[in-house]
Amino acid sequence: MIKTFPGGVQPACLKNETIDKLIKNAPVPREVIIPLLQHTGAPCEPMVSAGSRVRTGQVIARSDKFISSPIHASISGTVKKIDRYPHPVIGSFNAVFIEGDGADTKETSIKKTDNVNLLSEDEIRDIVRECGIVGLGGAAFPTHVKLALPEGKAIDSFILNGSECEPYLTCDHRLMLENPAGIIEGMAMMLRLTGASRAYIAIESNKIGAAFALEKILRDKRYNTLNAKIVILKTKYPQGAERSLIKSILNREVPPRGLPLDVGCVVSNVGTAFAVYEAVFNGKPLYERVVTVTGSCVAEPSNLRVRIGTPVKDLVDALGGLKKDVYKIIFGGPMMGLAQLSLDTPVIKGTSGILFLSKEDVAEYAETNCIRCGRCVDVCPLNMVPADIMRFVKKEQYERAIEYNVEDCIECGCCSYECPSKIPLFQWIKLGKTEVLNLRSAK
Amino acid sequence: MNKDLTVSSSPHMLNKLTVPGVMWGVAISLVPVVISSVIFFNILAIRLMLTCVLSCVISEAAIQKLRGKKIAIKDGSAVVTGLLLAMVLPPALPVWTAVIGSIVAIGLGKQLFGGLGYNIFNPALLGRAFLMAAFPTLLTKWTSPFTLDAVTQATPLGLMKFSQIKTPYMDLFLGNTAGSLGETAALAILIGGGYLFIKRYAGWRIPLSFIVTASILGGALHAVNPSVFPNAAFHLLSGGLLLGAIFMATDPVTSPVTKKGRWIFGIGCGILVIVIRSWSGLPEGVMYSILLMNGITPLVNRYTKPRRFGAKR
Ligand code: SF4
Ligand code: SF4
């Protein structure tokens, strides 16, 4: 039976351009610019300075805070400078500029493992941390933190998220088709670290091929003990959001401001599981990731394995340039992604897709009065009333906005998507969230 | 390469359905009812619909111009108001009366509150309520189908209430009875309604709960005393119940935004209709029941805030 959650929207999927494209390595860039903040948590301090020689995979920045993740050089060469540079999420941030030597010499300090069973749980967690693994679905939460359950917390279910519900994106889908064994190995390790007794692999109904690929691996007797099950979910956005996934599969609701842990689960993306596998088995740090580069302006839409810190313009060149005028460049998917100011913006660990959209792709509409149709209420996966919250925020009635749970918003954008009056509801709600946060910290 | 990149908030993709899309969609859903009304009332139907639509559109444009607002008649909402108003008036209503009704519907019913989206009452029903109060005799002068003269003829509800005469179901279903222009033909209304719901121009919760509530309550009264109270099928097929439940009560602006609210709205309308039909001096109650529920919609919205996701049940 196909499972799902109440609410959500069904935008056109637009994945056809890249759905059959094998993952290719993007050319190793001549220069990379690696921001010192690429994850949720504390920013890193640089360990190198202008003139330092670095190898691919060498740690170039870290932080001693627990919720943080080290950052690695993605090419070998010389550090030119550390300076402010455009950042895809926070506008601009300090970044390490590395000029490549063309050799791509690899750092080999992290050992390969022949038998993971000989590693203790703490050893695995350390490798995951040292390799800079973060959630690759977008939020980039440090994975070693997620795999270290707080004292007194236990979970029963692990959810591997292969739903990839954003239109256009196919990087997770391709990874499941091309590396199912690695994904399952990575998941097995994450299960071991979290102590979950069951695993659910969540896949949307439009990726049955991926489900078969993973199922084939799971049939191996070695994996019987994982107690893993593939769950087919309705193709609906935001099916892959943590709260929606848990609601769909386990019918549990993560409490407001709570974490999946609070309802006994941990959720992780398939790309992250594969990165964990590569880190533990191959000693490979997270210095590259798979990115779907697509949109009607790209000559050759592709799934590329891209070095972290590669500026967007290099990818454009690698894909044969642009075939029409770009109106918007989006990092991420069209529903939650962020529009970029510049072609210099570098790929970071959380970049799942880069969309080059023309004016026709992003149909824009004039905003009209709210007609109280309730469509925004019907689609909000968090049971909010976006039309009313929007009115409270416009009138600066933040207390009322709090009463209407403005802080619960998971920023999926379904309300704006569905509104026939084309009111940027999510933008208002986001503003309301920020104002409420300011109010709370002023108290 | 284009250097002028546009930066704006997500989502970067929007559903194609717009407000004009919804309004014109409702207008298209009314086509079966328009056709059946022309079949039964011929030139009278055409005259009444043209009068209402034109005077609604003109008053909307005039008021918007007077108030220095953008003229938005292309959004189709005035056309829908005009069509709906025509559907709830007697076919032979004099042109001038229909014009007054239209001006009241748009002026008092909609623009006085601030235009589309701000009105509390369904404009078409408000227009009719005004005419009913001002010109009660004109508003109860019915025409038999296929005759073009305005002979005084009672509606099936009136016949039932005051003379205990039953109209055959087949006539009720097809619309071969006296009544307001668009309310008589159940079949045409259902076809239009099907399109309305399939295309999601209107939600199904209100009509469903409205119709089911009215049937249950009507049926129960009939079971208690069949000689006084008509049965559920008669309630559904006669008068404006179907038209009201499907096209009037579903007006987005004047019905609740929450799901629970929409159930309550429909149930409330269903109860009120049967109560008015059974115990008031009036044969029909659809208009008043919807207007009453319109009036408490802000309150319903406030008390039916959806359960917070993740909060204890
Ligand atoms: S209010 Fe927030 S959570 Fe609800 S639909 Fe809008 S963006 Fe999504
Ligand atoms: S979807 Fe838009 S028009 Fe409809 S109630 Fe919400 S804000 Fe208003």
Q: How does pLDDT run across B205-258, given as a tens digit for each residue?
A: 999 999 999 999 999 999 999 888 888 888 888 889 999 999 999 999 999 999
Residue B295 sits at the chain A interface (C-beta within 8 Å): no
Query: Is A195 in a helix, a strand, or coil?
Result: coil
Q: Mean pLDDT across the stretch B45-69?
A: 95
More confident residue, B153 or B129: B129
Assess whether A272 and A387 both reside in one domain: no
Cα–Cα distance, A346 to A47 (Å, whole number):
20
Distances (CA, A) of B219 to B184, B230, B233, B265, B277: 21, 8, 8, 20, 13
Question: Which residue intervals of A200-357 are DSSP H helices?
Answer: 208-218, 242-250, 270-282, 312-318
- Cα–Cα distance, A393 to A431 (Å, whole number): 8
Is residue A41 a part of any domain in this protein?
A: no
Which tokens sit at A103? 């050799």
Six-digit token string for B295: 């009036």
Q: What is the CATH number of the domain that holds A182?
A: 3.40.50.11540
Tell me what pLDDT residue B313 has.
67
Q: Looking at the complex, does the CB of residue A342 fall below 8 Å from at least one CB of chain B?
A: yes
pLDDT at A386: 97
> Other C-beta atoms within 10 Å of A3: how many?
18
Q: Which amino acid is at B87?
A: M
A431 and A389 in contact (C-beta within 8 Å)? Answer: no
Q: Which of A376, A404, A426 to mutate to test the pocket of ligand 1 (most atoms within 8 A of CB)?
A: A426
Structure tokens given for B46: 């055409």
Q: What pLDDT, on a 0 to 100 scale, did the predictor assign at position B142?
A: 83
Number of structural domains in chain A: 2
Indicate if the pLDDT at residue B139 is higher than 90: no
In this structure, is residue B156 part of a structural domain? yes
Total domains in the fold of chain B: 1
Stretch (H or E) spanning A41: none
Considering the domain boundaries, does residue A328 fall inside one? no
- The two tokens of residue A350 are 């959380």
Average pLDDT over residues B92-107: 96
Residues with CB under 6 A from ligand 1: A 379-382, 384, 386, 409-415, 425-426, 429
pLDDT in tens, A247-291: 999 999 999 999 999 999 999 999 999 999 999 999 999 999 999
Which pLDDT belongs to residue B106?
96
The count of CB pairs under 8 A between chains A and B is 161
Q: A410 near B292, Cβ under 8 Å? A: no
Residue A33 above 80 pLDDT?
A: yes
CA angle A356, A358, A363 (to 5 degrees): 120
Q: Is residue A89 part of a domain?
A: no
Q: Residue A202 — φ and ψ, nearest 5°?
A: -95, 120
Contact predicate A130/A110, CB 8 Å: yes
- Report if residue B124 sits inside a domain: yes
pLDDT band, residue B157 (cuts 50/70/90):
confident
ipTM given for this complex:
0.92
Q: Which of A263, A282, A301 is the last residue of a domain?
A: A282
Quickly state the pLDDT bin for B3 (edges 50, 70, 90).
Answer: low
**SS3 assignment, position A311:** strand
pLDDT category at B150 given cuts 50, 70, 90 is: low
| Closest C-alpha residue for ligand 2 atom 8 | A370
Residues B288, B294, B300: CA angle, nearest 5 degrees? 130
Beta-sheet pairing, A338-339 with A328-331: antiparallel
Confirm or reject contact between B304 and chain A (CB < 8 A): no
Closest residue by Cα to residue A351 from A161, A99, A134: A134
**With contacts defined as CB-CB under 8 Å, which chain A residues touch B307?**
383
Residue-averaged pLDDT of chain A: 94
Residue ranges making up the domain that contains A178: 116-282
**How many CB atoms are located within 10 Å of the residue A441 CB?**
7
Report the pLDDT value the prediction gives residue A399, as an integer from 0 to 100.
94
Backbone angles phi, psi at A199, to 5 degrees: -130, 140
CA atoms within 13 A on the CB side of A298: 27
Per DSSP, the three-state class of A201 is strand
pLDDT per residue over A156-192, tens digit each? 999 999 999 999 999 999 999 999 999 999 999 999 9
Contact criterion met (CB below 8 Å) for B51 and B94 = no
Q: pLDDT-derived band of residue B148, with 50, 70 and 90 as boundaries?
A: low
In 3D space, the residue among A274, A294, A268, A301 whose CA is nearest the CA of residue A286 turns out to be A274
For range B273-279, the mean pLDDT: 93
- The C-alpha atoms of residue B292 and residue B269 are separated, in whole angstroms, by 8
Among the three residues A259, A282, A305, which one is the final residue of a domain in this structure? A282
Q: A335 CA to middle of ligand 2, Å?
A: 18
Interchain CB contact of B70 with A (< 8 Å):
no
Residues above pLDDT 70, as percent of chain B: 97
Q: How far is B52 from chain A (nearest CA, A)?
A: 22
Nearest to A288 by CA among A279, A280, A297, A296: A279
- Which whole-number Å values give the CA distances from B132 to A200, B93, B137, B193, in the listed order? 63, 12, 8, 27
Residues of chain B found within 8 Å of residue A409, distances taken between Cβ atoms: none
Q: A12 CA to middle of ligand 1, Å?
A: 19
pTM of the model: 0.93
Asked if the model's pLDDT at residue B40 lies above 80, the reply is yes
B9 Cβ under 8 Å from any chain A Cβ = yes
Domain membership of residue B76 (yes or no) is: yes
CA-based nearest residue to B112, from B99, B127, B128, B96: B127
More confident residue, B175 or B231: B231
Residue B218 lies in a domain: yes
Residue A195 CA, distance from chain mean position: 24
Query: Is residue A289 lining ligand 2, measured as CB closer than 6 Å?
Result: no
| Residue nearest to ligand 2 atom 7, measured at CA | A387
Q: Look up the domain containing B225 and give its range.
A: 19-301
Return the closest-CA partner of residue A312 out of A300, A327, A329.
A329
* Domain end (from A250, A266, A282): A282
CATH number at residue B220: 1.10.3430
CB B141 within 8 A of CB B94: no
Q: How confident is the model at residue B2 (pLDDT cuts 50, 70, 90)?
A: very low
Q: What is the pLDDT of residues A115-144, one digit of tens each?
A: 888 899 999 999 999 999 999 987 899 999
For residue A387, the tally of other CB atoms under 10 A from its CB is 25
Residue A42 belongs to a domain: no
Domain contains B310: no
In a domain, A2, yes or no: no
Residue A65's pLDDT is 94
Residue A106, in any domain of the structure: no
Task: Determine the pLDDT at residue B178.
Answer: 83
Ligand 1 centroid–CA A214 distance in Å is 32
**DSSP states along A349-386:** TT--EEEEE-TTTS------------HHHHH-TT---H
What pLDDT shows up at residue B275?
95
Could you tell which of A5, A376, A412 is best to mutate to test the pocket of ligand 1, judged by most ligand atoms within 8 Å of the CB? A412
Among B5, B8, B10, B308, the residue to mutate for chain A (most A Cβ within 10 A)? B10
- Is residue B53 a part of any domain in this protein? yes
Task: Identify the residue whose tokens are 């993007």.
Answer: A26
The answer as to whether B274 is a domain residue is: yes
* Ligand 1 center to A8 CA (angstroms): 9
Per DSSP, A347 falls in state P
Residue B4 lies inside a defined structural domain of this protein? no
The mean pLDDT value of chain B amounts to: 91
Taken in order B65, B67, B72, B76, the sign of the CA dihedral is: negative
pLDDT band at B1 (very low <50, low <70, confident <90, very high): very low
Count of C-beta atoms within a 10 Å radius of residue A153: 12
Interface contact flag, B115 A365, Cβ < 8 Å = no
Q: Can you tell me the distance from the alpha carbon of A266 to that of A276, in angstroms, rounded to the nearest whole number?
A: 15
What is the 3-state secondary structure of chain B? CCCCCCCCCCCCCCCCCCHHHHHHHHHHHCHHHHHHHHHHHHHHHHHHHHHHHHHHHHHHHHHHHHCCCCCCHHHCHHHHHHHHHHHCCCCCCCHHHHHHHHHHHHHCCCHHHCCCCCCCCCHHHHHHHHHHHHCCCHHHCCCCCCCCCCCCCCCHHHHHHHHCCCCCHHHHHHCCCCCCCCCCCHHHHHHHHHHHHHCCCCCCHHHHHHHHHHHHHHHHHHHHCCCCCCCHHHHHHCCCHHHHHHHHCCCCCCCCCCHHHHHHHHHHHHHHHHHHHHHCCCCCCHHHHHHHHHHHHHHHHHHCCCCCCCCCC
Chain A contact for B73 (CB, 8 A cutoff): no
Looking at the predicted structure, is the pLDDT value of residue A17 above 80? yes
Summarize pLDDT for A321-373 with one digit per residue, the tens: 888 899 999 999 999 999 999 999 999 999 999 999 999 888 789 999 999 99
Residue A145 and residue A251 share a domain: yes
A317 inside domain: no
Query: Which ligand does the CA of A373 lie closest to?
Result: 2
DSSP 8-state assignment for residue A322: B
